[in-house]
């Protein structure tokens, strides 16, 4: 009887030990499964305006999409399946939501959705093939991207032009958010929002223009104003002009005096001639009156002609 009790106790202890071991093994399998699932979920990366420079190193396949786009919604399942193969192929699979990242939309000039880019060490190529997992895998595995002409460095996402485009898209999104805030939360009518933005654009343009003028004047001053003897030359030139003006006025006065002298001489000559040709016995006073009357008549005729 004692032997039976001992055997039963040993069997129960063995069963509990095996049960504990199996529970530990089950927990281990669950942990492995969870870690594998999380790794698969992390295989599809998201690129943002602050982290986009990561794609300049290594090999990447990047999808630009929008949540409201039907074609993008159909591609999401295929793209996630393709991302599960990324680690095995040594390729980073990423996606960009253009509604949340307007700067990247402008940087890559996204004009249609979805748009897929291949990047290899900072060299970008636009994918134009079929949108299936097999086509994506063969595109990367067989290096079909080598047959596609890369994007010019002038239009590369890290160029000055694309940086400007990115800033412009960010500004447009900021203006749109401000407009929505003023119309939805502050209760400003739509036309009032347009007026505010118009005035802000006008005054900012004026301020920017004045700033550019000041900068240009400071960086590239005029040579005539920056010269040390400019004001001395200017004063000398003004004095020379004043002297010339005085000489011209003096010459004009001299010509007027000469004209008056000539007129007086002509009048005296007329007086002499008339006096010689006057009849005897005609008094000098009467002759003078006749000459004066003749002169007044000539002056009146000249006034009428003018």
Catalytic positions, please? 69, 72
Question: What span, in angstroms and rounded, lies between the C-alpha atoms of 59 and 65?
Answer: 20
Q: In what order do the strands lie in the sheet with 44-46?
A: 44-46, 92-97, 59-65, 115-120, 123-126
Q: Which residue has the tokens 């996402």?
A: 157
The C-alpha atoms of residue 291 and residue 110 are separated, in whole angstroms, by 102
Q: Which residues contact 121 (CB under 8 A, 6 or more apart)?
A: 56, 57, 58, 59
CA distance 84 to 269: 126
| 3-class SS of residue 124 | strand
Contacts 24+ apart (CB under 8 A), 172-179: 172/102, 173/102
Angstrom distance (rounded) from CA 283 to CA 281: 6
- Torsion angle in degrees (nearest 10) through CA of 34, 35, 38, 39: -150
Residues contacting 161, CB < 8 A, separation 6+: 154, 155
């Amino acid at each position: 009887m004692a032997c039976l009790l001992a055997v039963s106790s040993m069997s129960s202890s063995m069963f509990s030990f095996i049960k504990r071991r199996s529970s530990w093994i089950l927990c281990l399998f669950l942990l492995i499964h969870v870690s594998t699932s999380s790794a698969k979920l992390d295989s599809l990366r998201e690129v943002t305006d602050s982290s986009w420079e990561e794609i300049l190193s290594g090999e990447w396949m990047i999808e630009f999409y929008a949540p409201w786009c039907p074609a993008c919604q159909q591609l999401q399942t295929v793209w996630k399946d393709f991302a599960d193969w990324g680690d095995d192929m040594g390729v980073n699979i990423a996606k960009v939501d253009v509604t949340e990242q307007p700067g990247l939309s402008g940087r890559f000039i996204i004009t249609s959705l979805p748009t897929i880019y291949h990047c290899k060490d900072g060299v970008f190529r636009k994918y134009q093939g079929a949108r299936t997992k097999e086509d994506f895998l063969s595109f990367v595995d067989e290096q079909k991207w080598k047959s596609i002409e890369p994007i010019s460095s002038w239009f590369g996402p890290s160029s000055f032009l694309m940086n400007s485009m990115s800033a412009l898209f960010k500004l447009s999104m900021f203006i749109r958010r401000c407009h929505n805030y003023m119309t939805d939360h502050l209760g400003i009518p739509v036309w009032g929002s347009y007026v505010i933005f118009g005035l802000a654009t006008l005054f900012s343009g004026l301020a920017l223009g004045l700033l550019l003028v000041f900068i240009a004047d400071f960086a590239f001053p005029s040579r005539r104003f920056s010269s040390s003897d400019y004001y001395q030359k200017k004063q000398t030139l003004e004095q020379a002009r004043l002297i010339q003006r005085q000489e011209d006025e003096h010459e004009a006065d001299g010509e007027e005096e000469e004209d008056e002298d000539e007129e007086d001489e002509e009048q005296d000559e007329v007086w002499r001639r008339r006096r010689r040709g006057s009849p005897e016995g005609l008094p000098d006073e009467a002759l003078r009156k006749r000459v004066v009357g003749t002169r007044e008549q000539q002056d009146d005729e000249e006034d009428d002609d003018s």
